[in-house]
Chains A and B, each alone.
Chain A
């Protein structure tokens, strides 16, 4: 049995991982819900964000500039990817969409490998995030603690966009019935571009924020992609609240299980997903036959 401080620290790690998974998965789920496209390039875009962070911080030394330039870069990537490729596949079967986004992901990963090599890169922790914090009951790395706050703020911003703006209204309606949104005079294709770009930026920014606490390498996104899929299955396909809650649950499952036996953390995640699929196939917040 692991000690109480270890369990507590793992619970905190779970929160950090969970919020981040929530951010990655929310991008994936709004794209899936609105456009009907399962974006297999999402993990590669996460990795691309981390590399954008690496390049900018290496040049300027500024964490904030890294996030800012990186987010703009991801926005451009998202727009180009949607206009140039994904848009052409909206009317096509799911397997075509999966193949083309999977292919795009491979191209992105290999392009990064060709430019930066297969070696791992590191992104420095910002000066305000160094050291550890004494929480009274445990010591915890400062940046990881701040990361929880930053990602929570981003998730809240995403919530405000989705639930308090006209664009969010179109997105939520589009998740239910994109055809009817068009009949009501809204150019759904343009809304799709925006949704895809927001999803890509969410993936990229997750990668940027995560970069200082992991080794940045070309394949870093693949495990995140798989975990994000599990998250949206748990939360319910196309559901934003589902992605957030699913992310937190997945993060805690992985971290807490690691405290007992790290080898079983992923296994436990899949076991919970399998159990949920039996008991509630539409996921926590999903509605049946929605996507």
Chain B
């Protein structure tokens, strides 16, 4: 398992007294794109939040490039090269697009230049003086991903990147995600849009009620409709 960049071993996470994750384990190899699927409330977002340190797991270990990071505050984990792109996108609405990017780059040791980001997302260059709250949903999602990219994050956790977006924009973002994967960036993506997620994932995990119930390849999942029906409701 030494080739894994991110190794989650038997974590148990709670919101207050409610037990959400039960001995959840997963691993993401270097340059790998892994999709984490499951129904609403299965614990997908909680898994990402636990990895990022937003919610410290009560037990279990999380190794990032061999170093334990569980229980560390999010800012330390971010500085080690792991970046959560949260479901709600959490764009700073009072800040401009460029300020959002500059803020993200502040503590990154090898931050990208703004020009490089704008080359990747020409739309953000057009909108660079706009306030975050003036952006469309798709632009907000681009900016959210761009903030992870400008930090040169090695592992990117994408939480529902396609949620609530028009099909055309989803197509664009899927292309962006594929580009990132092709660049050798390591991605763990949580998504309700199974088709979109499977289109760029190398491997798949399925969570159900806080338990990891299946792992395999996109082809393996597609080949087994009963699996989709039982755990994803498709």
Give residues in A with beta carbon < 8 Å to B: 166, 169-170, 172-173, 175-177, 179-188, 287
Contacts and interface: CB of A to CB of B under 8 A. Distances in A.
Nearest to B79: A185
Nearest to A176: B92
Given A169-B103, A173-B103, A184 B94 contact: no
A169 B78 CA distance: 18
A184 B79 contact: no
A180 B84 CA distance: 9
B94 A172 contact: yes
B86 A181 contact: no
Interface in B63-95: 73-75, 78-79, 83-84, 86, 90, 92-95
B140 to A, nearest CB: 13
Contacts of A188: 75
Interface string B140-180: 00000001000100000000000000000000000000000
B74 A182 contact: yes
B93 A184 contact: no
Contact of A186 (B75, B86, B93): B75
Interface string B189-220: 00000000000000000000000000000000
B23 interface: no
B86 A183 contact: yes
Interface-central residue, A172, A175, A184, A188, by most chain B CB under 10 Å: A184
Interface residues of B, number: 24
Contacts, number: 70
A170 B54 contact: no
A183 B92 contact: no
A174 to B, nearest CB: 9
Given A169-B106, A173-B92, A185-B107, A179 B75 contact: no
A166 to B, nearest CB: 6
Nearest to B52: A183
Contacts of B54: 179, 183
A10 B147 CA distance: 51
B47 to A, nearest CB: 15
B104 interface: yes
B106 A183 contact: no
B116 to A, nearest CB: 18
Interface of B: 52, 54, 73-75, 78-79, 83-84, 86, 90, 92-95, 99, 102-104, 106-108, 147, 151
13 contacts: A166-B106, A170-B103, A173-B95, A176-B95, A177-B92, A180-B92, A182-B74, A183-B90, A184-B103, A185-B104, A185-B108, A185-B151, A186-B106
Given A183-B83, A185-B78, 6 more contacts: A169-B102, A172-B95, A176-B92, A185-B108, A187-B75, A287-B94
A188 B106 CA distance: 13
Contacts of B99: 169, 172-173
Given A169-B95, A176-B92, A176-B93, A182 B106 contact: no
B95 A184 contact: no
Nearest to B90: A180
Given A169-B103, A170-B103, A183 B95 contact: no
A182 B75 CA distance: 5
B92 A186 contact: no
Contacts of B93: 176, 287
Given A173-B92, A176-B92, A176-B93, A183 B74 contact: yes
A192 to B, nearest CB: 12
A177 B108 CA distance: 19
Most buried by A among B52, B79, B102, B106: B106
Contacts of A180: 86, 90, 92
Q: Which 10 residue pairs spanning A and B have beta carbons closest together?
A: A185-B78, A185-B107, A180-B90, A182-B74, A182-B75, A183-B74, A184-B104, A173-B92, A185-B79, A187-B75
A182 B94 contact: no
A90 to B, nearest CB: 13
Nearest to A169: B103
Contacts of B103: 169-170, 173, 181, 184, 186
B133 to A, nearest CB: 9
B71 to A, nearest CB: 15
Contacts of A187: 73, 75
A172 B100 CA distance: 11
A187 B73 CA distance: 9
Contact of B75 (A172, A176, A177, A185): A185
Nearest to B151: A185
